[in-house]
Amino acid sequence: MGLPAWAGTYRGYDDVALTAAASAGLVKRARGLLVSAPPAWVSAGERDGVVLAHKQEVRLDASGPAAARCACPAAGVCVHIVLACLFVHEGVAGGAGGMEVGAEVRAEVGAEVGAEVCEGPAAAEPVPEPVSGPSALDDLATLVPDHAIRRSGVVAGRAVANRLARISGASAGAETVVEAHRIVVTWDGTAVVIVAGAGWDGILVPSGVAHQRAAELRLEGVVRARRALGLGWEWPEGLLRPDGTGALTDDERAFLESVRSVLTGALVTGVARLDATVPLRVEATVTAARAHHLPELARALARVSEAMRQVVAGSDAVTDADVVGAVARAWAFTRALEAADGEGLAGLRGRAREVDDADDVRIQPVGAWTWQAASGARGATVAFLTSSGGEAVHQSVAGRARSQDPTFRVESAAIWGVAVTNLLDRTWTLQGARFGQGAEVSSSDRTQAVPGGAPDAAWLADAGVDRWAELPPRRAPRLLDEGGGLSLLRPTSVGRLRLDEVDQELVWPLVDADGAELEVRLGVLGGGWAAADNLTRLAESVGSAGLRLTHVLVRRGAGAPVPLSVVVVRSSGDVEVRSFTLGWPQPRVARGLLGGFGGLRKALEALRARVERRPEEVREATVPPVALLCERVREACVDVAVSGRQVLGEAEGERARLLARRCGDVGLTALAGALARWADAGTSAAEPEALLRVLLLAERASVVAAGEA
């Protein structure tokens, strides 16, 4: 009995190809089983067949191991699939495999599976003629750009096109080995095998990679092989990202106009009357923004979509004001894109978060903190140093949108399969992490953290900044501010912790090597009580329990630096990394030694009681006058946006004029003018863009006032 025609593709699936798809260990094991427990055919049709391999039925077709199916619980390409592929390969290549099965094996197999096994020639009969197959080089020649990108998907095509555009010379090449039935393409430790006749799905990539990553590797292997063999490759128009400095095209301007139409349409409807279709329309603009190479706009629109989704779902994590504010920022961003040019436009376009696989990297965590975004998403972030990254502080995030997982708790957030709270007590080796151009490190399904030893005191000894004059200048508030950058400070001493009752913040002076003092501030209102309590405990321990502070991780934005975590050394020499918003050990000090902090604790408790008793009074007393006025303006805008009213009433118009006069009195002339125009135009027909302009100016003025306070 001859082999089926589709089996001809297995001529290219030899040990080398299967090693690329699985591992050398699995191939070696399968080779042993091929002799000790020979596989057998269960059935063979025109399109596929079933092979019994080591007591497991494996279904094969022309696509090879990538499309093979096995009932065993192992993920990816298992030993049974490798064994079945080797069995068919040997038959095609003229070896001892193929359709031949001895009588004893047939009887044994039939008893095992209770099924009729395909009859083949006896062991003494001659081996059937090897099946001829197509040429791998011919297959590669047919994988022209349009066809290959259609199979991989535009997203994978764009990722590969822009990744290869960043590199040149030898880095863009690949070691290419061409044989009759396969082509092996190797670069940067990655091997891709193109097998003759197996088609796109039969191109072998390392086992275990995610679906999207597999599509990118297949396409990149094809591109590198074609270029190495002189077959050429030209990317279709629209895949390569422009340099960003050129003016917006007519198509891009039309797209920005359509985005504004979607955003203002939500306000015309009224936030209180939004339904599930509105977030879906905004999500469509997110996808379109990425297609237009506007990643920063896509991120702003994604925040709008998620905030709307939370409001529609009735979640208490997002308020109506959060939705209107997100809409205003996204709307303003479209206007800023239209007004910018040159390098300014390139910066507003943004850069896609492209990442590259890294080798094993040893890391030292230096802090962690919890967060909640305006969209309602919440999670935790860990910050760390890398053995090869110098002074750069990298970070990795674990979080959930409330619509995805309402039961998610930040205390149980896990990064690289390890709870964030457990990451801080040792060094780790990251395997399979993906590093981009920025500080954020992303993970894939293959990323894992291998535990190392205790925190490395020698590594941390010279890490961080010990002179505050070397810190980068405080940056101005930005339209899409995400909280500021991270800095690891190494103070020589700390001042006395005190409570600023006016601003409701704990103030902690840090002294550098030159004697200069830097105040870091931790707010105690809202959800800051636990962090403030932890900071107080730290001050108690450092002052009286032999605990030595070595590093403070802070976030530096428009205002004063905010402490996130600290590194301390006990009298025993043990190094500990502690987060203010995660678990915190009780101070190991005697009760009598806490007397110096009794006044601070009493002040904190009194403040907490006052806030709980009269929260509105305390809040207004602590907000600067300009910021409080801006908040009144925002409230007026949100009231109109929530209702969706198209005509301002007499009382609303008078309210807007009164706010305009007050803004003019304190020097907010731009905001005063915008309010006056909104009030005058709104009595006949409220213009959504006028409302958004007022809201945005009020928000920016409030941020600037807070930064200058």
Q: Are residues 364 and 410 in the same domain?
A: yes
CB-based contact 481:296 (threshold 8 Å) = no
The answer to the question of residue 124 being in a domain is no
Examine the fold and report which residue of 181, 196, 228 is the final residue of a domain before the chain moves on: 228
Q: Are residues 341 and 380 in the same domain?
A: no
The model's confidence at residue 696, banded by pLDDT at 50, 70 and 90, is: confident
Range with the lowest mean pLDDT among 31-35, 386-390, 642-646?
386-390
| Residues 604 and 647 placed together within one structural domain of the fold | no
More confident site: 463 or 613: 463
Length of the chain, in residues: 709
Would you state the structure tokens that stand for residue 282, as one six-digit string? 């905004």
- Report the pLDDT value the prediction gives residue 637, as an integer from 0 to 100: 86
More confident residue, 221 or 93: 221
Both structure tokens of 223: 């591109």
| Residue 119 domain-assigned (yes or no) | no
Do 682 and 634 share a structural domain?
yes
Instruction: Identify whether residues 472 and 608 lie together within a single domain.
Output: yes
Q: At what angle do helices 24-36 and 79-92 cross, to 10 degrees?
A: 60
Q: Residue 285: which pLDDT band, with cuts at 50, 70 and 90?
A: very high
Number of domains into which the chain is organized: 6
Q: Kindly report, residue by residue over 336-377, the tens digit of the pLDDT.
A: 898 888 777 877 877 655 555 556 788 888 888 777 766 666
Question: Do residue 29 and residue 105 come from a single domain?
Answer: yes
Angle ∠(682,684,686) on CA atoms, nearest 5: 35
The angle subtended at Cα 452 by Cα 447 and Cα 454, nearest 5°, is: 135
pTM: 0.58
| C-alpha to C-alpha distance for 566 and 551, rounded to whole angstroms | 6
The verdict on 372 and 308 lying in the same domain is: no
Convert 472-491 to b/e letters by CB count within 10 Å (16 or more is b).
Answer: eeeeebebbeeebebbbbbb
What does the pLDDT average to over 47-54? Answer: 89
Is the pLDDT higher at 272 or at 238?
272
- The predicted structure's pLDDT at residue 126: 40
Per-residue pLDDT at 246: 66
pLDDT for residue 709:
46
Q: Is 685 helix (H, G, I), strand (E, B) or coil?
A: coil
**143 against 154, higher pLDDT:** 143
Residue at token pair 């934005």? 557
- Alpha helix ranges (H) inside 320-411: 320-339, 342-349
Please tell me the predicted confidence (pLDDT) of residue 613.
57
373 or 110: which carries more pLDDT confidence? Answer: 373
Helix axis angle, 250-269 to 295-312, nearest 10°: 20
Block residue for tokens 């190094």: 575
Domain stops at, among 431, 460, 489: 460
Over residues 327-335, the mean pLDDT reads: 91
The CATH number of whichever domain residue 414 belongs to comes to 2.40.50
Residue 298, pLDDT above cutoff 70: yes
Does the residue 656 lie in any domain? yes
Q: Dig out the tokens for 354 from the structure.
A: 């492209």
Percent of the chain residues topping a pLDDT of 70: 73
**Segments forming the whole domain that contains residue 564:** 466-612
| pLDDT value of position 500 | 78
Q: Find, among 480, 622, 491, the residue nearest to 561 by Cα.
A: 491
pLDDT computed for residue 96 by the predictor: 43
Structural contact between residues 23 and 15, judged by C-beta atoms closer than 8 angstroms: no
Q: Where are the beta strands (DSSP E) in 45-189?
A: 48-53, 56-61, 69-70, 175-178, 182-187
Residue 682 lies in a domain: yes
Q: Tell me: the pLDDT tens digits for 557-608?
A: 666 788 888 888 877 778 888 888 776 554 443 333 333 455 666 676 676 6
Which residue do the tokens 């190392």 mark?
Answer: 452
Helix (H, G, I), strand (E, B) or coil at 24: helix
Q: How many CA atoms lie within 13 A of 621 on its CB side?
A: 13
Question: Looking at the domain assignment, is residue 238 inside a domain?
Answer: no
pLDDT tens digits along 461-487 = 878 888 888 887 665 555 555 556 788
The last residue of one of the domains, among 612, 632, 647, is: 612
Nearest of 239, 393, 376 to residue 310 by alpha carbon: 376
* 273 & 305 share domain: yes
In a domain, 235, yes or no: no
Higher pLDDT, 544 or 541: 541
Q: Is the pLDDT of residue 422 over 90?
A: no
Residues 387, 300 share a domain: no
Query: What pLDDT, on a 0 to 100 scale, did the predictor assign at position 15?
Result: 85
| pLDDT tier for residue 442 given thresholds of 50, 70 and 90 | low
> From CA 174, how far away is CA 171, in angstroms rounded?
8
Going from the C-alpha of 125 to that of each of 41, 96, 101, 106, the distances in angstroms are 17, 11, 10, 15
Note whether residue 123 is domain-resident: no
Position with higher pLDDT, 316 vs 597 = 316
pLDDT of amino acid 388 = 63
CB-based contacts of 495, cutoff 8 Å, min separation 6: 508, 509, 510, 511, 517
- Per-residue pLDDT for 111 more than 70? no
Per-residue pLDDT averaged across 41-63, rounded? 88
Residue 258: per-residue pLDDT: 93
What is the mean pLDDT of the segment spanning 158-175?
A: 76
pLDDT above 90 covers a percentage of the chain that reads 7
| Mean pLDDT over the full length of the chain | 76
In a domain, 454, yes or no: yes
CB-based contacts of 567: which residues, under 8 Å, 6+ apart? Answer: 366, 367, 455, 460, 549, 550, 551, 552, 553, 575, 576, 577, 578
Predicted local distance difference test score (pLDDT) of residue 545: 57
For 224-270, the pLDDT digits (tens) are: 999 888 888 988 877 776 655 567 888 889 999 999 999 988 888 88
Q: Strand, coil or helix: what is 371? A: strand
**Residue 383 Cα distances to 234, 352, 482, 555, angstroms:** 41, 22, 16, 11
Q: How far apart are CA 693 and CA 657, in angstroms?
A: 15
57 Ramachandran zone, left/alpha/beta (phi>0; psi -120 to 50) = beta
Tell me if 109 sits within 8 A of 40, measured CB to CB. Answer: yes
- The pLDDT of residue 608 is 64
* 540/632 same-domain check: no
Shared-domain flag, residues 501 and 383: no
Does 471 share its domain with 608?
A: yes
Q: Is the dihedral of CA 588, 593, 596, 600 positive or negative?
A: positive
pLDDT on residue 667: 85
